[in-house]
Structure 1
Amino acid sequence: MSTKVTQRKLQPVLEDPRFRIRPLQQVASACTGALITACFMTPLDVVKTRLQAQQSTANKCFLYCNGLMDHLCPCDPTMPQLKPENRLNGTIDAFVKIARNEGVGSLWSGLSPTLVSALPSTIVYFVAYEQFKMHALEFHYKYLAEVKGSPRGREIPFHIPLLSGVSARVCAVTFVSPIELIRTKMQSQKMSHAEMISTIRAVLKTQGFFGLFRGLPPTILRDVPFSGIYWTCYENIKSFFGVMEPTFGFSFMAGAISGSLAATITTPFDVVKTHEQIEFGEKVLFTDKPVSNVSTLNIRKRLWTIYRLSGIRGLFAGLGPRLLKVAPACAIMISTFEYSKAFFYHYNVQRHNEMLLIANTKRNGV
């Protein structure tokens, strides 16, 4: 009870515009979270990619995600078959053999391009969410005071994190969609700037301008509900326990729970997105002769096709591995983000107090 009372008293202070987290501080918090999340999740990505690649015998591609972003990768049919003693048999075995044969550092191969690609999306997403939430709360409190004449409530209304999360995700995925297309092609082979421009022209010629946004509708359909559910759950968990300034441990657990619930509900859309991205990669990106007749089935038809062929199990294929990635990624990201925000909040308070002290000293002529 005393904790909840303390948190209630903290609310006006935490929302004081003088101490509010600045946009650049939000950017720094998002960058910190993305960096730490990528460092923890990249070894899992490397292991999963190796396991998938050794199972492929055709010139196809596969998709994996580290919780920050998706990666579409080609499989090289000319790659020699692994010797039995070097073949990877499961996750633990892969960790051991990769570290022993290639060095521990190889478990973090690909970290740099992941950060370069993931940071813009993460920054746009988290900063946009904070800004949308802040302005929505200000409008809500103003409405309560002027229209209803009631004092501001302690809890954040249900619809604010929902709408803020949805809006932030739409901004993020739309912003990075063309970047992701270019990055995916560059990952498939070494390319000069001239070759990269030629590839963009080929996509524009065969797919049109909106070809640069291929996969955006299923991405939005998967990530937008995910974000709405995630932020609504997270903010409601905080409100339920009366937490205004969460500790690292609290935000870690709340982030894992919220991420798991959101990931479970949106898995069918993740399956659809994976099918469409792989199809686009095989017919457009990882081929010397891009085709223009890529299937354009709408989301509902794709869901029905998967259900007809594989049933409910097909719609929720990969749920287990997805939870193993999304839950820790969400937990690490949000706890780091919240911890960084708390750091900058107390820094702002300290700076404000120092400025007041200096002003008082000058006024008193000391």
Structure 2
Amino acid sequence: MNGQSPPPAASNGITPLQQIVASCSGALLTSLFVTPLDVVKIRLQAQTNPFPKGTCFVYCNGLMDHICVCENGNSRAWYKALPPGHLNGTADAFVKIVRVEGITSLWSGLPPTLVMAVPATVIYFSCYDQLCSSLRTRMGEHAETVPLVAGAVARVGSATVISPLELIRTKLQSERQSYRQLMGCIGQAVQSEGWLSLWRGLGATLLRDVPFSALYWYNYEKTKAWLCDRAESSEVTSSITFISGAASGSVAAIVTSPFDVVKTKRQVELGDLKAVNWSSSTLSVMRRIVAENGIRGLFAGFMPRVIKVAPACAIMISTYEFGKAYFHKCNQERTTGPLDTINT
């Protein structure tokens, strides 16, 4: 001991500040690894079906969805359409984009992700761990449902806090306007409809994200425990957390796909002043999608979503768990000393 008292640790062995650092690191790594995948996807889509002026498209990079609008051909979009037929598949797209535009172009659209996704992820993961620690001591024999309840509540909190910022970001991306015009628009909406107008679209977001979060955390904990039993190991390794995160994320993405389609539909309509109808409920939008495209329309794009969500969840949770384990070890060494820790 060096005379310094250890920091106040949470019930899981780390402090809230250390939880924040671990979740922030996970969000950063997830964005860095997954963003290039969606950049390539957008370029391939733009090459096949170029987005005309005024058309919205959805850009997703594992943590956040972004609405982009082509205001002047391709010059103001987050993508740059190369000559038709220039890109021949994913691998070819990676090579040619880097060769023609530079490697940094693979992270186009990353700044708005970091501005919003990092604080949202920090709130979400920190709340989840704190709720788990609190609920496990109170739910007794129902402790198995703690991840489900904690995941749902944590997502409600983070989505509600970040919703006004997401609305502002979407508004900026859907229409070219100055910040003064944007503030005037927001002020007019608040004056006529009240402060709740800043949470427009929150219902569709919660219908997608809350079940996703509940299913994700419940399946993650179950899969992690099952893999530990299969490996006959009491220690949760990075490979176990990675596989558990990918598997549980895939299941949750498939189940909640209809609500993701609805959320995307409403976000895209925000950029189309003729089509936008904020009074439309989530159920009415789902009925409209079924009427136009059948039941399959509610699962449009679920395969690309799963392909994107699985690695994003795997990278996020494995990085987060690694960070927590690291801080937990540091806290133990501060308390007992490195020699005692090694001997144990």
Distance 1:300 1:349, change over 3 A: same
Give matches, 1:167-316, under 5 Å: 167-187=153-173, 193-204=179-190, 208-240=194-226, 241-242=228-229, 245-283=235-273, 294-316=277-299
Give the distance between the partners of 2:294 and 2:288, measured in 1 at CA: 9
| Partners of 2:197 and 2:96 in 1: CA distance | 40
Q: Partners in 2 of 1:245 and 1:172 — Cα distance?
A: 30
Identity %: 48
Alpha-carbon offset, residue 355 of structure 1: 11
In structure 2, what is the equivalent of residue 134 of structure 1?
Answer: 133
- Mapped partners of 1:50, 1:169: distance in 2: 31
Structure 1 residue 31 corresponds to structure 2 residue 24:
yes
User: Whole-Å Cα distance in 2 between the matches of residues 293 and 265 of structure 1?
Assistant: 27
Please, what is the CA RMSD of the aligned residues?
A: 2.8
- Report the AA paired with residue 111 of structure 2: S
Query: What's the counterpart of residue 14 of structure 2?
Result: 21
CA offsets 1:256-292 (integer angstroms, 9 cap, x no match): 0000000000001111111111112322xxxxxxx89
Paired AA for residue 29 in structure 2:
I
Q: Does the 8 Å contact 1:161/1:228 carry over to 2?
A: yes
Distance 1:162 1:83 in 2: 45
The CA deviation at 1:160 is 0.6
**Candidates 41, 55, 60, aligned match of 2:55:** 60
| Alpha-carbon displacement from aligned partner over 1:186-225 (angstroms, at most 9, x marks no partner) | 4457765534423422543676533321221011000000
Taking the aligned partners of 1:83 and 1:231, their CA distance within structure 2 comes to: 41
* Displacement of 1:48: 2.8
Q: Which amino acid aligns with 1:162?
A: L
Q: Secondary structure at the match of 1:294?
A: coil
**Contact 1:53-1:75 at 8 Å conserved across structures:** no
Contact 2:171–2:270, Cα closer than 8 Å, also in 1: no
Q: How does 1:27-106 map to 2 (within 5 A)?
A: 27-53=20-46, 55-79=50-74, 84=83, 87-106=86-105
Secondary structure at the counterpart of residue 62 of structure 1: strand
* Structure (1 or 2) with the larger CA radius of gyration: 1
Residues 88, 182 of structure 1: alpha-carbon distance in 2 compared, 3 angstrom cutoff? farther
Report the Cα distance in structure 2 between the residues aligned to 1:203 and 1:120, rounded to whole angstroms: 26
Q: Which moved more, 1:334-343 or 1:42-51?
A: 42-51
CA contact (8 A) 1:259 1:326 kept: yes
1:222 maps to amino acid:
R
Mapped to 2, the partners of 1:294 and 1:351 lie a distance apart of: 57
Q: Secondary structure at the match of 1:107?
A: helix
Code of the aligned partner of 1:259: G
TM-score by length of 2: 0.84
Q: 1:109 and 1:58, CA in 2 relative to 1: closer, same or farther beyond 3 A?
A: closer
Aligned AA for 1:223? D
